[in-house]
Amino acid sequence: EVQLVESGGGLVQAGGSLRVSCAASGFTFDDYAIGWFRQAPGKEREGVSCFSRRHGSTYYADSVKGRFTISSDNAKNTVFLQMNSLKPEDTAVYYCAATDLCYASSFGLIHYWGQGTQVTVSS
């Protein structure tokens, strides 16, 4: 069974940090890129960052560049998103997904989604 399980969300004050995790199972980790997406209330889901171990590529949306860092623990099939200098506008449900691509802002086909984890940044 394919599973992507996010964890690590929570409530933090503006300027603070959180690290969210995405644990993948049921598929070959190297066959996909892993993307982080977020959806704020009343807004469309947007791609935030991605990582492809197979191609050695990473991507960050302009809104998070310099503040967020994506990394992985390959032995545990887990991808992390370290979020620093958080802003109230970062408040959203954060999802990870297994995608075809991690190339610039292109993710290609999204094959699997996690259930999401809430990140709330208070001002």
Give the C-alpha separation, 80 to 49, whole Å.
11
Cβ atoms of 22 and 96 within 8 Å: the answer is: yes
Angle, vertex CA 12, rays to CA 62 and CA 52, nearest 5: 40
Cβ atoms of 59 and 52 within 8 Å: the answer is: no
Cβ atoms of 51 and 102 within 8 Å: the answer is: yes
Predicted local confidence at residue 91, as pLDDT: 98
As beta bridge partners, residue 73 has: 78
* Model confidence at 58: pLDDT above 90: yes
Per DSSP, 9 falls in state: -
Mean pLDDT value of segment 69-98: 96
Confidence of residue 28 (pLDDT cuts 50, 70, 90): confident
Mean pLDDT value of segment 54-61: 92
